[in-house]
A and B are shown apart, each in its own frame.
Chain A
């Protein structure tokens, strides 16, 4: 069990650029989640995958955001035309069953200048 890994740990970009983050969940976990956390706040749900199917999307996820999990293993989260309001920590988590504890990665800290 190597845990949930996220890459990169930090990303600095200019407004208007596209960015992509990667998450590798625990290998036997079929459920994968993306959350966003801003300074001083709790994580907010963005989207959920069961295997390769994206089953839930938050209203927070504007059309500039897209997430994939092509083979039911790793996932990517892309933000197009970044805005300063996108600056946040993007957290990935995985679990084996509904209502089970989530295992979180260390997150990707995005700063949009």
Chain B
């Protein structure tokens, strides 16, 4: 069975602070894919990143960076110099060879960035 845990249900920061959202996953498969999605107040989930299990390189995209560590089954997401527009719910998700085309989402972390 697959499982994704986002232990932080809600985080509040002041604009320009850095913030890290944690994601821990469980799977028995050796081939799997990890995702992050953003859900702003409008409700539509927006794709941020996909990482496969064989690529442990960290990735940076502007103010966003992701740290994938297979040894701890974690795929954490850091926003540098947060902005009010970053306020949203962020979901980590997992797909794998034997998941049957089913993306498993974590419970989400609500990020509030205050001016």
Contact = CB atoms under 8 A, between A and B. Distances in A.
Interface string B29-52: 000010101000011111100101
Contacts of A104: 37, 44-46
B102 A106 contact: no
Contact of B42 (A56, A100, A106): A106
A79 interface: no
B101 A102 contact: no
Interface residues of B, number: 26
B77 interface: no
Interface stretch (A17-25, A37-45, A64-72, A80-88): A37-45
A31 B101 contact: yes
B44 A42 contact: no
Interface of A: 31, 33, 40-45, 48, 50, 55-56, 58, 89, 91, 93, 98-107
A91 B52 CA distance: 25
B105 A91 contact: no
A102 B103 contact: yes
